[in-house]
Amino acid sequence: MARRKVVDPNDPLALARAVLADSETLWLPIRHLSPACAAVVGRRIREVRPAAVLIEGPDDATSLIPFLVDPVAQPPLAVLSTYADLKNRFGQNGILSPDPRIPVRFRSWWPLVASAPEHAALLAGHEVGAELAFIDAPLPAHIPFEHARLARAVQGPSDGALAENAYFSRLRGTRRSFGEWWESAFESGEAAADPDRFLTAVLVFAASVRGLTARGALDDGSRVREAHMAWHIAQARKRHPGRVIAVVTGAYHTVALPWTAGKRAAAKVDRNSKTLVCAWSSRGLAALLGPGAAPAWGEAVWSAFEAGETRPYAHAVQALTVVATRVARLEGGASTAEAVAAVSAAESLAALRGNREPTSWDFAEGLRLALRKGEQNRAAVEVALQAARVGGAMGRLSGAAGAPPLVLAWNAEAKDHRLDVSGGEVTVRLDVRRQEAHRRKSAFLHQSRFLELPVFGEPPFRGPDPASGQDLHLLGETWTFRWREAVVEHLVELADRGPTPTAAAESLMADRVAEAAGDAAATATLVMDAARMGLRAILPSVLAAAEEAVQVDPSFARRVTALGRYAEWHAVRDVLPTFGSERLAVLIGRLYLRTTLDVPSLAGTHPDRAEDAVEQLRALLRHALSLEADGAVAVDRRPLVEGLARLAGDPTCPATLVGAALGLGAAVGAVTEGQVARELSAFARIDEAGRFLDGLLRTSRGILLGGSALLTAIDRLVTGLEWDRFHAMLPDLRRAFTAFVPAELQRIGERVAGEVVALPEGDPPDDVARVLRLAATAAEQAALSVGPGSR
Amino acid sequence: MADAIRLPAERRFAAELAALSTLPGVRPEGWRLAPRAVAMFAHGGQVGDLPITRKFWGDDALVERAVASLASDRGLLLIGEPGTAKSWLSELLAAGISGASTLVIHGTAGLTEDQIKYGWNYALLLAEGPSPRALVPGPLYTGMRTGRIVRFEEITRAPHEVSDGLLAALSEKLLSVPELAGDEGLLLGRPGFNLIATANTRDRGVNEMSAALKRRFNFEHVQPVADLDEEIRLVREQITSWVAGGPAAGVVLGEDLLELLVTTFHEIRTGTTLEGVRLERGSATMSTAEAVSVGYNAALHASFFGASVVAPRDLVGWLAGTVVKDDPASAKALRSYWEVAVKPRASAERGAWRAYWAARDLLEGVGGAPKSR
Ligand SMILES: Nc1ncnc2c1ncn2[C@@H]1O[C@H](COP(=O)(O)OP(=O)(O)O)[C@@H](O)[C@H]1O
Ligand SMILES: [Mg+2]
């Protein structure tokens, strides 16, 4: 217990008064991002002119404060601390990261928007010539209690215990959240009119919350951090003996700090942690805070406060409504009448709810009420509301603020590649086959895309894309590049991954590789990504992961997909950096063999899955043929043909797959029509002929168009069936015939019908003929309605 | 009239309304209660010693928005699936604001303008010519003259030219009676007049309303009750109040059955089980109102057969009968619900779920037999 007078913790009012009566310290309790607090904090500091202003924020950012109060600096700004947990110090690797091998990258943002009390304190303190310092413990002290507890790698400002407590639960009434309750209880013109009353009210609330908080709950890190802050306060007191010091912290801490003994936190920064300041944007803040965040609301209220408006919140409603109704593409446009209705709805809601001024909730609901006209413009209204709430503020810092190396390196490379960073959309054409400089530029652009930097149009690029198998015929790449201010923010977030785009991409690639372990298809894509980005250093380990996946991935489907990707990659190998391609050729050969050897085991496929298996077999054969034709990889079709034969011969194999295996065999000339006809009659005996034909015709349509042996067999089968069995087979039969285009169908249909009509008299056969003709025409019509150009 | 089948809200809850009128607060002109009191009338609360019952379950903010909206000069349009208590809420709001919920227009294809505005007593008209005495006021006329809320049920089902006839009433708050001369020819709406309309999303008519009319309304979407426990409570209260005093009085619908019933409706409606398994959705609405009716009918049915307790089988029978009717898609959805949701719970021996599962034979053959192939 420090030297302060003891106060009964069960008397919140006495406690609040004692805090405010402190003559040595100007205690300023805040809620983060509260414009009312910002207004009061600024005013009080200007009035009292303390010798130092100490602010809740990571103390390793104190040396960066000059950049934040520099005259050229413009909010939104932010302090960002990062910690890459390479040694799993916090035990969250594999929990907050996708894999234990991937280190969690913890981040905490301290937003400094104009309406943030912390920002107001910095500016006012700077104005009165006070010493400025952040006094909270650095990021590592927060991680166990915030990031780990809330299971989030990225943290922003939160209300913490102020919101999560029994006292608030009693007070909240019908308010849907702490934010809504706080706004109606504390955000109002009165804050500026009578700061003392306001501060007392905030302290009484915080003291009540704290008084009801169980002792154990304080082990949420508050104790450690408060002791750390108290230590800083004591140090500052020594530096400014006999002078007043201002302390700006969350209200929950303010009611404890005067009685807290100082002790430096043990969790120190190490070389894996970094703290920097950066220019930010209201979009970045909104993304951090999540749905419903309204940075522009805070800004509008703040500027109304600054302008001395008596109803700053009502002012914000008007300002944001104007923005929203301008954005809204509403039926007949959103007129002034709409805007007026929205404002009046917000005011009525405020009145109904007993709010002195509308809250941001009243605003949003009023706007929806007045603008929404049923489902059809719901999205448009939400877009308008979102635009109004978020705003488009962009921060600025002086160039000397020490941007992280990644930002500088990326900018320098972009400049080297003559990419326009003024913001216009440009088209970049690259001849990656012939020009080394273009290849390097392409690698840089691929890295930027891999890092998800917001600098591209939609689509970002066209060119031979082996990853998707698209546009392989194109000779060069065409990019749409559009620099945006937000790229800096993204780069700042990535800064701890490495000092250059290549290093950052390699670090991200390492994470992706760990994530994709054992997945043949996903690792195949990563191999190509790494090659295109020119990530020489990491490519061997990406290849190693791909090789392992080829061995261990149990999924036939994924292996076929991977083979397709490699085959396509191989086809354009001269476009890509050639390194590693020999190893890759071996890998492809192995993948092919392993996949082929598994073909007979498809016999165990569940009949419901047979269709997928048919597609996989077709793809496999296609890839095999194209690799065989290329000649560079040791691939030949014989083991595959053998595998298909064994699959077809397996008595447990579903009929569809037998048909497909024979069809594929026929397509490469390894199976004769006679064999097929024999199988058909075998399946007919067990009423599976329809499925068999379906598999067959999906893979080899030619077989029915060519010779007539099979057609005769089908005919005999159909005519020999009793009515019931034929009827049961009909759906499969019908489907089988959709493999043909109308002209082909007509030919087949006519031939079949001709044969059947020639049969002896009698009802059932006649019906057979009719139904079969119907089947053929139905299929024909279906094809006609979708097929282009068929008559 | 005390033994009417169903009393309008202002009569049924007269005591509550009287208590609410003592609540302070600025009343918009023509309102019987302060806006906060109107909201409380719907979502419940307490005035002194008198508890105000919750009548509308769900989003309190929605009620507040509806009330705030009616205090403005725009009408209120409640849209939602059938059975989401749109009509009920509009009745409550009208009762709270005007003390009367009976000025109602029903939107039908045959609705004519004179049914809304005014018609004539032809005998008097012929005898005296047009005069105020010969005029027969419609709900809109009465609402405007007396400064009360007028309700327009299922507005999208009314012919457009008829609903567009509301435009002047809503925007200028006046109604002209060209047949009458002088001041009589123009009815100026009194403060307190406003319009609450309801529309059914299944009707797909809202899009087709004229833009001019849409702009006279604030729209509010009424969602089905999202919280299962809340829905159970609501259904319990409704069934209890329906059963009380009727032939089924004394029949017990146990808590476990209530849970079965409401969970089934809730899960099929939201398309996932509480465990997060996706479900097939039929085309039936599965509204809370229907859950109430299934529960009530099962109780009634049990009473006819002298049973004092509703059995799971009874519920299944009524589900099959009332929900599915003869829609094969809903029948299929219900059967697959039994497979996906009921079966695992039954095999985990979760109380009444077992008996529920055992009664699945009642679902066979409803909604048309399943196709053989
Ligand atoms: N949220 C709810 N609150 C109260 N009752 C409800 C609710 N949802 C459904 N109900 C029940 O449904 C009944 C029918 O509602 P109704 O107003 O006719 O629906 P709608 O007009 O939306 O089709 C109500 O009387 C009530 O029994
Ligand atoms: Mg209705």
Q: For residue A44, what are its two tokens?
A: 């009080």
* Other CB atoms within 10 Å distance of the CB of residue B202: 11
Domain match, B191 and B289 both: no
H/E stretch holding B222: strand B217-222
Residue B173 lies in a domain: yes
- Do B73 and B191 belong together in one domain? yes
Tell me the average pLDDT of chain A: 83
Would you call A731 an interface residue with chain B, using a CB distance cutoff of 8 Å?
yes
Is some CB atom of chain B closer than 8 A to the CB atom of A174? yes
B232 and B216 fall within a common domain: no
Full DSSP string of A690-728: HHHHHHHHHH-SHHHHS-SHHHHHHHHHHHHS-HHHHHH
Residues paired with residue B198 on neighbouring β-strands, in sequence order: B78
Higher per-residue pLDDT: A636 or B263:
B263
Rounded mean pLDDT, A19-26: 94
Contact B74 A370 (CB under 8 A): yes
Is the complex ipTM higher than 0.85? no
CA distance A7 to A26: 18
Partnered with residue B309 across adjacent β-strands are: B252
pLDDT higher than threshold 90 for residue A405: no
* Closest by CA position to A471, among listed A566, A571, A616: A571
- C-alpha B165/C-alpha B138 separation (Å) is 13
* Band (A777; pLDDT cuts 50, 70, 90): very low
Does residue B322 carry a pLDDT above 90?
no
DSSP H or E segment with residue A288: helix A282-289
Mean pLDDT of A254-266: 92
Best probe residue, ligand 1, of B12, B53, B84, B225 (max atoms within 8 Å of C-beta): B84
Q: Which residues contact B132 (CB under 8 A, 6 or more apart)?
A: B180, B184
Q: Which of B203, B222, B241 is the last residue of a domain?
A: B222
The CA-based angle B207-B211-B217, given to 5 degrees, is 90
The answer on B153 and B292 residing in a single domain is no
What is the C-alpha to C-alpha distance for residues B285 and B19, in angstroms, rounded to an integer? Answer: 37
Contact A337 B68 (CB under 8 A): no
Q: Is residue B20 part of a domain?
A: no
CB < 8 Å to A376, chain B: 206-207
A700 vs A344: which has the higher pLDDT? A344
Q: How many residue pairs bridge chain A and chain B with CB atoms within 8 Å of each other?
A: 71
**pLDDT on residue A259:** 92
Identify the DSSP state of B328.
Answer: H
The H or E element that residue A784 is part of is helix A763-786
Average pLDDT over chain B, rounded to an integer: 86
Asked if the structure places residue B306 within a domain, the reply is yes
Residue B373 inside a domain? The answer is no
Give the three-state DSSP class for A25.
Answer: strand
The yes-or-no verdict on residue A572 having pLDDT over 90 is no
Beta bridge partner(s), residue A111: A78
- B180 and B238 share a domain? no
More confident residue, A619 or A246: A246
* Angle subtended by helix axes A723-737 and A689-699, to nearest 10: 10
Q: What is the pLDDT of residues A714-728, one digit of tens each?
A: 767 766 666 667 667
A732 touches chain B (CB under 8 A): no
B68–A366 C-beta distance less than 8 A:
yes
Which pLDDT score is estimated for A787?
A: 34
Is B141 domain-assigned?
Answer: yes
How wide is the angle at C-alpha A381 spanned by C-alphas A380 and A382, nearest 5°? 90
Is residue A92 pLDDT above 50, yes or no? yes
Whether residue A76 is preceded by a cis peptide bond, meaning omega within 30 degrees of 0, is yes
Q: Which atom of ligand 1 has the smallest separation from the CA of B153? A: 21
Sign of the alpha-carbon dihedral angle for B79, B85, B91, B94? negative
- Position with higher pLDDT, A715 vs B121: B121
- Exposed / middle / buried, residue B126 (Cβ in 10 Å: 0-12, 13-18, 19+): exposed
Place of tokens 């700053």: A312
For range A275-285, the mean pLDDT = 86
Most A CBs within 10 Å, among B65, B74, B371, to test the A interface: B65
Q: How far apart are CA A576 and CA A569, in angstroms?
A: 9
Ligand 1 atom closest to Cα of residue B198: 21
Give the phi and the psi of residue A109 in degrees, each rounded to 5.
-105, 135
Residue A366 in this model has a pLDDT that exceeds 50: yes
The more confident residue out of A495 and A186 is: A186
User: Average pLDDT for residues B306-323, to the nearest whole number?
Assistant: 82
Query: The pTM is what?
Result: 0.71
Closest ligand to C-alpha of residue B157 is 2
Using a CB-CB distance cutoff of 8 angstroms, which residues of chain B are in contact with residue A366? 68
> Closest-lying ligand to the alpha carbon of B289?
1
Task: Determine, yes or no, domain membership for B248.
Answer: yes
Q: From the list A348, A373, A376, which residue is nearest B71 (CB)?
A: A348
Mean pLDDT lowest among A553-557, A711-715, B93-97, B229-233? A711-715
In the structure encoding, which two tokens stand for residue B89, read together? Answer: 């809420």
Average pLDDT over residues A459-470: 70
Q: Which helix (H) or strand (E) holds A430?
A: strand A425-430
Q: Which residues contact A672 (CB under 8 A, 6 or more apart)?
A: A666
Q: What is the mean pLDDT of residues A563-581?
A: 71
Residue B67 lies in a domain: yes
Domain shared by B205 and B238, yes or no: no
Amino acid at A185: A
Q: How high is the pLDDT of residue A117? A: 97
In the predicted structure, residue A751 carries a pLDDT above the cut 80:
no
Which residues, 6+ apart, have CB-to-CB distance to A557 below 8 Å? A612, A616
Residue pair A125/A132 in contact (Cβ under 8 Å)? The answer is yes
Read off the pLDDT band of A446 (50, 70, 90): very high
Q: Which three-class secondary structure state does DSSP give residue A61? A: helix
Q: What is the mean pLDDT of residues A521-542?
A: 89
Which pLDDT belongs to residue A38? 95
Chain A contact set for B69 (CB, 8 A): 345, 348, 369
Separation in Å, CA B335 to CA A528, B364, B370? 48, 8, 11
3-class secondary structure, A492: helix
Are B89 and B137 in the same domain? yes
User: Exposure pattern of A42-80 as b/e (b: 16+ CB <10 Å)?
Assistant: bbbbeeebbbbbbbbbbbbbbebbebbeeeebebbbbbb
Tell me the chain B residues in contact with residue A355 when contact means C-beta distances shorter than 8 Å.
none
Identify the residues whose C-beta falls under 6 Å from ligand 1.
B 56-58, 80, 82-88, 198, 225, 234, 238, 288-289, 292
- A174 and B35 within 8 Å at the Cβ level: the answer is no
What's the B294 CA to ligand 1 centre distance in angstroms?
14
Strands across the sheet with A245-250, in order? A25-30, A245-250, A52-58, A131-136
Specify the ligand 1 atom closest to the Cα of B289.
Answer: 12
pLDDT band at A774 (very low <50, low <70, confident <90, very high): very low
Query: Best substitution site from B63, B87, B88, B153 to test ligand 1's pocket, by max atoms within 8 Å of Cβ?
Result: B88
What's the distance, Cα to Cα, between the start and end of chain A in Å?
94
d(CA A413, CA A409): 6
Examine the domain organization and report whether B239 and B212 are in the same domain. no
Among B205, B222, B239, the domain boundary falls at B222
What distance in Å separates the CA atoms of residue B65 and residue A325, rounded to the nearest whole number?
20
Contact A92, A148 (CB under 8 A): yes
- Could you tell me if A334 lies within 8 Å of chain B, comparing CB atoms? no
CB contact under 8 A, A351 and B69: no
Judging contacts by C-beta atoms under 8 Å, the chain B residues touching residue A375 are 201, 206
B257 with B359, same domain? Answer: yes
Q: In what order do the strands lie in the sheet with B75-80?
A: B104-106, B149-153, B194-200, B75-80, B217-222
Would the CB atoms of A369 and B67 count as touching at under 8 Å? no
Confidence at A757, pLDDT banded by 50, 70, 90: very low
Q: Please check whether residues B179 and B254 belong to one and the same domain.
A: no
- A228 — pLDDT class (breaks 50, 70, 90): very high
Name which of B36, B39, B65 is nearest A369 (Cβ-Cβ): B65
Give the one of A332, A344, A354 whose C-beta lies nearest to B211's C-beta: A332
* CB count in 10 Å sphere of residue B161: 10
Test mutation, A175, A335, A347, A352, chain B, max B CBs within 10 A: A352
Distance from CA of B33 to the nearest CA of A (A): 12
Render pLDDT for A290-343 as a digit per residue (tens, 0 to 9): 887 899 999 999 999 889 888 999 999 999 998 888 876 655 556 788 889 999
* pLDDT at site B36: 94
Q: What is the pLDDT averaged over residues A736-759? A: 59
User: Residue B142 belongs to a domain with what CATH number?
Assistant: 3.40.50.300
- The identity of residue A701, as a single letter, is R
* Better pLDDT: A4 or A236: A236
Selecting from B36, B74, B211 the residue whose C-beta is nearest the C-beta of A352 gives B36
Q: Is the pLDDT of residue B4 over 70?
A: no
CA nearest ligand 1 atom 16, residue? B85
Nearest to B188 by CA among B176, B196, B197: B176
Q: Which residues of A touch B68 (CB under 8 A)?
A: 345, 348-349, 351-352, 366, 369
Q: How many domains would you assign to chain B? A: 2
Residues B38-63, mean pLDDT to the nearest whole number: 92
Give pLDDT, residue B372.
31
pLDDT in tens, B268-277: 888 888 888 8
Nearest Cα to Cα of residue B323 among B264, B256, B248:
B264
Residues B152, B207 within the same domain: yes
Between B98 and A743, whose confidence is greater? B98
Is the minimum CB–CB distance between B64 and chain A shorter than 8 Å?
Answer: yes
Range of the domain at B192: 59-222
Residue A113: per-residue pLDDT: 94
**Residues of chain B positioned with their CB less than 8 A from the CB of A373:** 206, 214-215, 217, 219
The pLDDT of residue A115 is above 80: yes
Residue A419 to residue A481: CA distance in whole angstroms: 8
Give residue B86 CA to ligand 2 midpoint distance, Å: 6
Whether chain A has a CB inside 8 Å of the CB on B61: the answer is: yes
- State how far the Cα of A466 lies from the Cα of A489, in Å rounded to an integer: 31
CA A309/CA A300 separation, integer angstroms: 11
Which of helix, strand or coil describes residue B106? strand
pLDDT in tens, A592-619: 999 999 999 998 888 888 889 999 999 9
- Subunit contact B65:A345, Cβ cutoff 8 A: yes
Say how many Å lie between the CA of residue B200 and the centre of ligand 2.
Answer: 8
In degrees, rounded to 5, the angle at the alpha carbon of residue A44 between the alpha carbons of residues A164 and A126 is 100
CA of B289 to the centre of ligand 1 (A): 6
The reported pLDDT for the residue numbered A475 is 66
Is residue A69 predicted with pLDDT exceeding 90?
yes
Query: Across the interface, which of B26, B74, B211 has its CB nearest the CB of A341?
Result: B74
Residues B257 and B204 in one domain: no
Residue B325 within a domain: yes
**Subunit contact A352:B214, Cβ cutoff 8 A:** no
Last residue of a domain, one of B222, B238, B266: B222
Residue A683, pLDDT above cutoff 60 = yes
For ligand 1, atom 27, name the residue with the nearest CA: B289
Q: Which of B67, B221, B373 sits opposite A352 (nearest CB)?
A: B67
Q: How far is A730 from chain B (nearest CA, A)?
A: 10
- What is the Cα–Cα distance from B28 to B93, expressed in whole angstroms? 14
Please report which confidence band the pLDDT of residue A772 belongs to, taking 50, 70 and 90 as the band edges: low
User: How sure is the predictor about A783, in pLDDT bands with cuts at 50, 70 and 90?
Assistant: very low
